[in-house]
Amino acid sequence: MAVPPHHTSQTCPNPACGHISKLNRQTQALFKCVECGYENHADTVGAINILRAGYARLACEVSGAAMPPAAGTHRSELAA
Ligand SMILES: [Zn+2]
């Protein structure tokens, strides 16, 4: 399954957050969300986000709903 890789390394994988910022990646190896404080290895975060994007696409195809992926939105401004 092809998933767009953009933002996957800058997006907070916390479902309640989803903050997207370059500042979340202060080092190459570590992801730390500036919004909620979520911390994990950058590679792990990328994998989680790719997985979630893949499931979101799958859910879209199954349900037929036109739900955009979390990447590219600024949900944190709404969820704060
Ligand atoms: Zn976060």
pLDDT of residue 78: 55
Alpha helices in the chain (DSSP H): 42-63, 76-79
pLDDT of residue 58: 81
pLDDT of residue 3: 53
The CA 7 to ligand 1 mean position distance, Å, reads: 14
Q: Quote the pTM value.
A: 0.62
The CA 12 to ligand 1 mean position distance, Å, reads: 5
Look at the block and give the residue holding tokens 């969300």.
33
Q: What is the mean pLDDT of each run of 10 residues along the chain (80 residues)?
A: 69 93 93 96 93 82 61 55
**Sign of the alpha-carbon dihedral angle for 30, 53, 72, 12:** negative
The CA 52 to ligand 1 mean position distance, Å, reads: 15
The CA 66 to ligand 1 mean position distance, Å, reads: 24
The CA 38 to ligand 1 mean position distance, Å, reads: 5
